[in-house]
Chain A
Amino acid sequence: MIHVENLAKNFVLHNQGSVAIPVLAGASFSVAAGECVALVGESGAGKSTVMRILYGNYLAQGGSVSIGGVDITRAAPREILALRRETLGYVSQFLRVVPRVPTLEVVAEPLLALGRTEDEALARARDLLTRLRIPERLWSLSPTTFSGGEQQRVNIARGFAHSYPALLLDEPTASLDATNRETVLSLIEEAKAGGAAIVGIFHDLDARVRVADREIDVTRFTPGRG
């Protein structure tokens, strides 16, 4: 489902003396449907950079990333948008929404964007918010005023609203209590059982051991470290 080949990434800081910082070189790996791969490596090794390239959020300077048959590194913006709508989900650590939009709609939005009926989308949103223990009295409020843990759960609910065939998870269990953590882990297991190819960053070691089938140490993609 996900094939990364010979990926390279540099940052060139034009306003700081045009210094070029190579962050990735020769990164190659694949993730099959129903498989979960954990990216590991010390802070700054490039885990998030890999995730962001996979999502089309960062540009690569070399190599290719094929997700569901689309090469993200060469696709036109509208192809990436279609891929993100239908195929590729991303649970980031931060919730970014228009203030004022009710939580229920924030969670239902990925399904509405796919053209599902309002009834179906809202039913799925209610189900996920209930499972993730967001009290019903908060559903009509914007999540921008919620606590960090609540925002993260809203973000997770949104990320799992549609059954994406490929899913990127950036620390999905950070700052969650034991009960909610358990819910998130079962959501991940359900997605895997449903055939999703998952790439994740999990600092939570027990969570990683439980859901990940393999680990990929990104330090081996760091230029100059072999």
Chain B
Amino acid sequence: MTPLLDVQGLSKRYGGRIGCAEVSFQLYPGEVLGIVGESGSGKSTLLNCLAGHLAPDTGQVIFDTRSDGPRDVLSMSEPERRMLGRTDWAFVHQNPRDGLRMRISAGGNVGERLMAVGAQHYGAIREQATDWLGRVEISEARIDDRPSAFSGGMQQRLQIARNLVTGPRLVFMDEPTGGLDVSVQARLLDLIRGLVRRMGLSAIVVTHDLAVVRLLADRLMVMKDGHVIETGLTDQVLDDPQAPYTQLLVSSVLQV
């Protein structure tokens, strides 16, 4: 099977400081990969390099495109990469305000992404937007409201709908449940899990919350000081951590 994403020797430095160093991994269709580590470990730098938001210094990010098979994303032209970001890829930001247009309606936020890939028929766009609001459990009655009138949890669900409406194959998520109440987090996790299974999505989820990765991720990468220090099956890494830092990380979680 061809991996959906094949990352080779990805490094990014900020002057003399290491952002992430020599990161390599493969992601297969339908897999969810969790990346954990504390603030400053390089996990967000890595995610942004993968998603094309940051230019890495060295390395390759080979994505199995629908039309041309495996291609190095980093050597694509800017328009090509932007098209990928609107079609096969999706990016869910920690802060929904970074991923939504706050001045247009909820329905418009979802519809805009459809129009960006060529949808033109207003009725069809609105119908699809309504369908997606339903899937993320936002009432149809709120379709014309602006996201600024929504709660944090609703905004995050709307951001997910906006991202998934074009049927992407790979979703990048940066702390998708960060800053939300625990009860709202559970609902969102359940939603994401259901969507991943039904749509056969692959996802890369960056978080510092080990409970989130346990429920969401099939595999785990642990980062420290820009390096990947441990990888494996999620439950194996959490239940039998090998690296000193991972042992510390896992044993530091307060039990409830």
Flag if A77 contacts B215 (CB, 8 Å): no
Query: A66-119: which have CB < 8 Å to B?
Result: 77-78, 80-81, 96, 98-101, 112-113
Interface of B is mostly: helix
Flag if A58 contacts B239 (CB, 8 Å): yes
Flag if B247 contacts A14 (CB, 8 Å): yes
Task: Say whether B197 faces chain A, with CB atoms less than 8 Å apart.
Answer: yes
Chain B residues with CB under 8 Å of A59's CB are 232, 236, 240, 242
Task: Say whether B31 faces chain A, with CB atoms less than 8 Å apart.
Answer: yes
Task: Say whether A57 faces chain B, with CB atoms less than 8 Å apart.
Answer: yes
- Mask: chain B, 156-177; 1 = CB below 8 Å from A; 0 = not: 0000000000000000000000
Flag if B190 contacts A98 (CB, 8 Å): yes
Given A15-B244, A77-B219, A98-B190: A57 and B197 interface contact (C-beta under 8 Å): no
Closest to A109 in B: B197
Q: Which of B197, B233, B247 contacts A56 (CB 8 A)?
A: B233
Give the contact-size bracket for chain A: 20 to 34
- Mask: chain B, 179-223; 1 = CB below 8 Å from A; 0 = not: 000000011011001000100000000000000001100110000
Closest to B244 in A: A14
Q: Which of B28, B236, B251 contacts A57 (CB 8 A)?
A: B236
Task: Say whether A52 faces chain B, with CB atoms less than 8 Å apart.
Answer: yes
Closest to A60 in B: B240
Flag if A81 contacts B233 (CB, 8 Å): yes
Chain B residues with CB under 8 Å of A113's CB are 197
Flag if B190 contacts A101 (CB, 8 Å): yes
Task: Say whether A13 faces chain B, with CB atoms less than 8 Å apart.
Answer: yes
Given A57-B235, A78-B28, A113-B197: A100 and B190 interface contact (C-beta under 8 Å): yes
Give the contact-size bracket for chain B: 20 to 34
Chain A residues with CB under 8 Å of B31's CB are 78, 81
Flag if B236 contacts A15 (CB, 8 Å): no
CB distance from A139 to the nearest CB of B (A): 17
How many A-B pairs fall under 8 Å by CB? 54
Flag if A100 contacts B235 (CB, 8 Å): no
Give Cα A82–Cα B112 distance, bound, in whole angstroms: 38
Flag if B242 contacts A100 (CB, 8 Å): no
Flag if A57 contacts B190 (CB, 8 Å): no
Closest to A99 in B: B186
Closest to B218 in A: A81
Query: A107-155: which have CB < 8 Å to B?
Result: 112-113
Flag if B186 contacts A77 (CB, 8 Å): no
CB distance from B145 to the nearest CB of A (A): 25
Closest to A84 in B: B233
Chain A residues with CB under 8 Å of B242's CB are 12, 59
Chain B residues with CB under 8 Å of A12's CB are 242
18 additional A-B residue pairs with CB within 8 Å, beyond A15-B244, A52-B239, A81-B31: A12-B242, A14-B244, A15-B247, A52-B240, A56-B233, A57-B235, A57-B240, A58-B239, A59-B242, A77-B219, A78-B218, A81-B218, A98-B215, A99-B190, A100-B186, A100-B187, A100-B190, A113-B197
Binding site for B on A (CB under 8 A): 11-15, 52, 56-59, 77-78, 80-81, 96, 98-101, 112-113
Binding site for A on B (CB under 8 A): 28, 31, 186-187, 189-190, 193, 197, 214-215, 218-219, 232-233, 235-236, 239-240, 242-244, 247-248, 251
Q: Can you report 16 residue pairs joining A to B where beta carbons are below 8 Å apart?
A: A12-B242, A14-B243, A15-B244, A15-B248, A57-B233, A57-B239, A58-B236, A59-B232, A59-B236, A59-B240, A59-B242, A77-B219, A98-B189, A98-B190, A99-B186, A113-B197
